[in-house]
A and B are shown apart, each in its own frame.
Chain A
Amino acid sequence: MLSLLENNGALRWLGKQLFNREDPAAFFDPLLASIDPMLVRQYVPARVVDIVDETADTRTFVLQPAPRWQGFAAGQHVNICIDIDGVRHNRTFSLSCSPRQWQQHGTVTLTIKRLPGGRVTNWMHDQLTIGTTLGLGEAFGEFLAPELPEPLLFIAGGSGITPVLSLLETLAADDFRAPVTLLYFVRTQADVIGAERLYALRQRWPAFTLTVVATDEGRTPQYLSDSHLDAVPGLSARRCYLCGPQGLMDLAGDLLYHRGIDEHRIHSTFFSAPKAALPDDDLGGDVRFERSNVSVEASGDVALLEIAEAARLSPKYGCRMGICHQCSCRKTSGTVINRVTGKASGPGEESIQLCVSVPQGPVTVDL
């Protein structure tokens, strides 16, 4: 019934008048949440229905989103929001299951590796229990399967396998006939994420070739090299998908470029662990003001408000000393240092005061 307040134009208008908010249905959330957290409207709630160990530091979380969730295409990612110690954290993860699982069982999976020092991933591993709910955003991303069958090469590293698992299972279920090769780089064989699923795919899907490279198991580290690519038949005709740590992505991009593979046929999805903020890191960085479509480079101890003004933007402001919150706005990504407290922010989306926030590395602001 509350969805009417969201979807019916007239009722939504009325709801805004009555409850003084842009999302009138969420007015009732505090009451609904105490009946059942799956009833809230502010975000799409998803219940954790199972947690499965993949490797020593990676787990798969099976989620059951509320039915109004819109679904996804293989290879896409989602934002999730989680309240940790009173603070809401937003993070992006790839969905690691095929869309069929959502269509048939109403569940989706996120496969998440612990990041050293990462607040959200560690909390999810240590504190998140079956039965609790978290917020799930709508899926997005362009790391998608080809529309027509053609030979494919996937190069994945570590937990970069997650969207690839989703793509492979979808292709296999569609009985994709063109050759598909996966080069999967892991530290040791024990670090293979989704091992059972990958080996099962190899068993039942003839078009699929799986090569797992354990980089740390030989006498010398084994990184992606020409010899790996030489072993892929008909490489130049393949559409390529890259997902992994920055080093692997750069290396793969270079090698494929030298083999003359058109860059339009190379898909990569952004995957980099948020860098833990260090106090001695240099201040400043590339600042992007999203709504104004302005990017500037800042250096040193200069607050975002001054950076914005120097870029000829005119954000709202008041005291310019961190008291009045007139200049508060959303930071969508990146780390800032609060000049008053000296503390570093998290890397995700959150509200900051422009007048006392100094960028530390690249920052994107909703301004």
Chain B
Amino acid sequence: MAPETILLDASHVSKVFGGVRAVDDVSMQVREGTIHALIGPNGAGKTTFFNAVSGYAMPESGHVSFRGKDVTRALNWKRVAMGMGRTFQTPSVFPELTVDENVRLGVRAHAGQAFRLRTPRGAAAAAVDARVDELLRFVNLAAQRDRLVAELAHGSQRLVEIAMSLSTDPVLVLLDEPMAGLAEAETDRIVGVIRDLRTRLGLTVLFVEHNMRVVLSLADRITVLDRGKLLAEGTPAEIAADESVRDAYLGEGVLEHV
């Protein structure tokens, strides 16, 4: 597909909690092959928007289309089958299963084996094994494959979650604050993995992040939300120079040093 293809198209998406318009008439497009950041102060509606896009919680109004199809009301597992993967702010993993089993569940799901009452053998099993190996090596967790995920460090759990969201062969990966709560070294590691998602796997990435150093170095495009509304959208340079964005972040000092 041409680089200009629109993979994800959200138009006029709104989500209300009680009297609060958590997401208010937000429209944005994610183009294929880009790394797209979604930023904004706390409570801007970033995660709520993610939930609406991924089908975790349906929007009240507006439309979401993915790969040219309207998925506004599609159940989350159907969106995954269409090629959408996502991670959560708190790593959403199977804590009491091993790293290997976590990833294997996803690989089996994608291979149509999850419903089997007998463990497949032969070629089908070998294909699953090979894919699990590949994914574990991609996130560099092969050495920890037999450890329980609950025993892993926070950053490693995020990598397990990323490997799982890759196991279903997505074309678009939504990462919700992949660097939250991580030390510097761990952050660099995740940044490396996100770069690899595009350069080595050819995926499109939409991610939420607070760390502006990371956002400005990773993203091709940035969308800024503030109090549920779309505030600005543009290239990192445009966003860094945007007055309204500076105002929204005023007092937080995040843009002062860039």
Pair from one complex: no
